[in-house]
Amino acid sequence: MKKALIVWMSATILLLATGVAAQQPDSKGCKDHPLFPTRMPEYRLADCKVEDYGVYEFSSTKGPKTPVEGKFTFLAYSFTGERANEPSGLAVVRNYENAFQKAGGTILQSDPQRWVNGKIVKDSQEAWFEVEKGNGKIWLRIVEKKAMEQIIVADAAAFGNDIRATGHAAVYGINFDTGKSTIKPESAQAIGEIANLLKADPGLKIYVVGHTDNVGGVDSNIKLSQDRAEAVLQALVRDHGIAPARLRASGCGPFAPVSSNDTEEGRAKNRRVELVKQ
């Protein structure tokens, strides 16, 4: 998230409620996020976590959750006052809703008694938030959306070694828009390495196989994985001159996981493209 958005939000967001902050100190290293620089009265920061690149699946009242990737911040507030004075879930939700909307944000989904989420876009920079009220707790999650910096580089030689050893090679670094088969620009390097593999071995023919995690319906995931595999195939033909007869696209959906789908890390490993020797 660029500094301009943070500064703009800090200057624009309204006080969530009147009153002084809780007297108990916050947990060491924890502080309010610049998007919400004030808090409900008589709450302290009991816990916090910041990931330079992470993901959070934003809640929905119906349909699948929405995963958003970027800089992830988690803040846990604990109520320190008399329990009889603790604000209701509705009061917390409405405070965050009103503050966010007056700052120019858009409310996306809510359960008025428990949680609300939304997003804000300023100068092409996007941030999402979700606040949830619990028993004596408020949990705030913020994702400042951004593309991942690719560190592990896909390599044609490694693909070739894997194919010779096992008959297939997993390709990470080909990314798509969420729920779509649109290839993101940062995928160009990985697709280029697949092309290098094929150019170095003119006799090699491959299946381009798409894989998904288990989020969503089985039928929709099979179609999505097929469409994504076809998109990679078309990129190899269109952008790198690979003969279509050497390629065939197939979608495996969620049926061949390489990790548990119970965690986001596992689901990320399962969302992949594989090259399988014909």
Residue range 174-201, pLDDT digits in tens = 989 888 999 999 899 899 999 999 999 9
Distance, CA of 86 to CA of 126 (rounded, Å): 32
Could you tell me if 100 and 219 lie in one domain? no
Could you tell me if 187 and 258 lie in one domain? yes
Classify residue 245 as left (phi > 0), alpha (psi -120 to 50) or beta: alpha
Question: At which residue do the structure tokens 């809703």 appear?
Answer: 97
Could you tell me if 250 and 119 lie in one domain? no
Range of 203's domain? Answer: 156-277
Residue 235's domain is classified under what CATH number?
Answer: 3.30.1330.60
Distance, CA of 163 to CA of 25 (rounded, Å): 57
Per-residue DSSP letter, 252? E
pLDDT in single tens digits along all 278 residues of the chain: 455 555 555 545 544 544 444 468 999 999 999 889 899 999 999 999 999 888 999 999 988 899 998 999 999 999 999 999 999 999 999 999 999 998 889 999 999 999 999 999 877 789 999 999 999 999 999 999 876 565 556 789 999 999 999 999 999 889 898 889 999 998 998 999 999 999 999 999 999 999 999 999 999 999 999 999 999 999 999 999 999 999 999 999 999 999 898 887 788 889 999 999 99
Could you tell me if 139 and 169 lie in one domain? no
Could you tell me if 164 and 135 lie in one domain? no
CA dihedral 241, 222, 217, 220 (to 10 degrees): 60
138: β partners: 77, 133
Distance, CA of 246 to CA of 208 (rounded, Å): 10
Number of domains comprising the chain? 2
Could you tell me if 171 and 259 lie in one domain? yes
Distance, CA of 132 to CA of 112 (rounded, Å): 10
CA of 249: how far to CAs of 129, 174, 228, 254, in Å?
38, 15, 9, 16
Residue 151 lies in a domain: no
Distance, CA of 109 to CA of 106 (rounded, Å): 10
Q: Considering 88, 112, 145, which residue would you say is the last residue of a domain?
A: 145
pLDDT, tens digit (0-9, with 9 covering 90-100), for 209-237: 999 999 999 999 999 999 999 999 999 99
Chain centroid, CA 158 distance in Å: 28
Residue 191 lies in a domain: yes
Classify residue 49 as left (phi > 0), alpha (psi -120 to 50) or beta: beta
β strands within the chain, DSSP E: 43-58, 66-79, 106-111, 115-122, 125-133, 137-145, 168-171, 206-211, 247-253, 272-277
Give CB contacts under 8 A, 24+ apart, made by 15-22.
15/99, 16/40, 16/95, 16/96, 16/99, 17/41, 17/87, 17/95, 22/80, 22/81
Residue 12 lies in a domain: yes
In this structure, which amino acid lies at residue 76?
A
Question: Does the CA dihedral 81-84-85-87 come out positive or negative?
Answer: positive
N- to C-terminal Cα separation, the chain: 44
CB atoms near residue 214 (< 10 Å): 17
Could you tell me if 269 and 197 lie in one domain? yes
Could you tell me if 189 and 130 lie in one domain? no
- The phi, psi pair for 222, rounded to 5°, reads -65, -45
Could you tell me if 137 and 160 lie in one domain? no
pTM of the model: 0.55
